[in-house]
Every structure is written in structure tokens, then in C-alpha cells.
Amino acid sequence: MWPLTGALGEHSISQYTERQLAASKVPLLAPELRGYRMFFPEANAYSGTFGYLLLPRPVETSAADRERLGIWVTVAPPVAGFAPPDACGVYRGVTQIDAGPCEQVAPDTWRSSRSGAIRYIARREGAVVLLDGGGPTVSDEDLRAMADTLTVRKPAYFLHPNG
């Protein structure tokens, strides 16, 4: 009986997550995942944001410092006053942060480096996407490639993105 219960519970969680994602107030944007795995997709109805964690394949999901080793992606409505390159305020999760001045690296794409943190900010489909990472396992080139490949995805994509 246990395997059936586990499968039903997992199916119920998947359905809940799919409904939550379908109700997202921002587009479900995600990059190509070359060499990375996606975890914890969540659409926050209160803040109107959507986000997830990308981990390089060698990093274990159970790593205590996985947040530092990966890339947090937040898709959000533009912050009031968002006007790069001078004003690059964005949401990280549900918290508004000042990414400081940023430099334009491509159309509607900016890079910010503050306190050792590398961030890419992209304006896509009326939303602002923050790719916040650049720890020792994430290269600047990977962050740039992700910003360049952001595409609107269907909710089902986020249920089993790692194969």
C-alpha cells in the first residue's frame, strides 16, 4: 500500500504545483539548462513573483551551501523606478534589492557586480528577471548564456525539468 500512497501523494503535489504555476502573475521564464538542474519552482501569489534555484550538475541537492553554489532566478514585475543602467532595483524572491548600477551587455540585458556577487538582469515579456549567482561553481559566461536563452515555458516544464 505504501508505494501507491507515495505515488498518489506525489501526483497530488505535482497537480498543486502545476495549478500554482499556471496562476503565476508573471511569465514563466526559464533558460536552457545546459549543465544545470532546476529545483523549487514557485509562483508566489502574494508578491506576484516566480522563482527557482539552478544548481550546476556536480553540486549535490543536499549540499548545505547549495544556495551559495547555485543561481537563484526571480521573475517579477518591474520595480517602481527601474531604469537601468542607473537604477537597477529588482526583486530577489519576494524582497526588493538594489543591484546598484549595472552595465548593458545586450538589448534589455544588464550585468551588475556588487560585493562579489554577479547578477544578470533581463527585461523579457514585460517582466524583469534576476539571475543571482556567480559563486565558485558558476561562471560569468554561464549567467550570460542563461540571460540570453530565457524563454516562456509551460507549467509542465517546471514539474520535471531535470529529465
* SS3 assignment for 64-83: CCHHHHCEEEEEECCCCCCE
Q: Which residue has the cell 544548481?
A: 55
Question: Domain of 104?
Answer: 2-159
Q: Can you tell me the distance from the alpha carbon of 146 to that of 150, in angstroms, rounded to the nearest whole number?
A: 6
**Total domains, the chain:** 1
pLDDT at 8 over 80: no
pTM score: 0.86
Dump pLDDT digits (tens) for 90-140: 888 778 888 778 999 999 999 998 777 789 999 999 999 999 986 667 888
What mean pLDDT is predicted for residues 36-41? 91
* Exposed e or buried b per residue across 116-147, where buried means at least 16 C-beta atoms within 10 angstroms of its C-beta: eebbbbbebeebbbbbbbbbebbeeebbbebb
- Report residue 75 as a C-alpha cell: 521573475
The predicted structure's pLDDT at residue 63: 62
